[in-house]
Structure 1
Amino acid sequence: MNPSRCPCCGRRNQCAQAESATPVSDCWCFSAAIDPGVLDSLAPEQRNRACLCPACARGLAPPKPQSAAD
């Protein structure tokens, strides 16, 4: 599992801790309110391995990719 990817949607999770080789003192995920339903939906092997992305942490569906015609 890639620690810089959201285990829910696979997008970058924007976690400073996952993207840094050294410990960080602040990241959005340190104080984020996480939707418990999202955590419950993860398989046990996905838990505590990588941060959710901000959208999934709030329980929001990730935006749909735009097609080339858009």
Structure 2
Amino acid sequence: MDNEAIRCPSCGQLNQCAQATANAPVEHCWCFDITVDALALTQLPAEQRNRACLCPRCAQGLHEPASD
């Protein structure tokens, strides 16, 4: 299992992706039941897109980036 594939590219937490951790075809994952926030995807740097799934909080736009 690729460690990068199991971490959210936005916040670094475990993304809980069934597809990233399964050794067989996945019939269900939490992401099948939500609408992913489009803004959350566009805020990812291009090199991080399509490499790993967002976590449930980031996918729903609930993760607030840490302030500087």
TM > 0.5: yes
Q: Distance in 2 between matches of 1:46 and 1:30?
A: 21
Aligned length: 63
Over the matched positions of the two proteins, sequence identity in percent amounts to 54
Structure 2: gaps of 5 or more residues: none
With structure 2 as the length reference, what TM-score do the two structures score? 0.81
Determine which structure has the larger helix proportion and give its number.
Answer: 2
CA-to-partner distance for each residue in 1:25-52, whole Å, 9 max, x for gaps? 1101133211111101001111111110
Q: Which residue of 1 aligns with 2:58?
A: 56
Q: Which residue of 2 aligns with 1:18?
A: 20
Report the residue type matching 1:9 in the other structure. Answer: C
How big is the alpha-carbon RMSD for the aligned residues of Structure 1 and Structure 2? 1.8
Determine if contact 1:29/1:51 at 8 Å carries over to the other structure: no
Q: Which portions of structure 1, spanning 4 or more consecutive aligned residues, are displaced by more than 6 angstroms?
A: none
Determine if contact 1:5/1:52 at 8 Å carries over to the other structure: yes
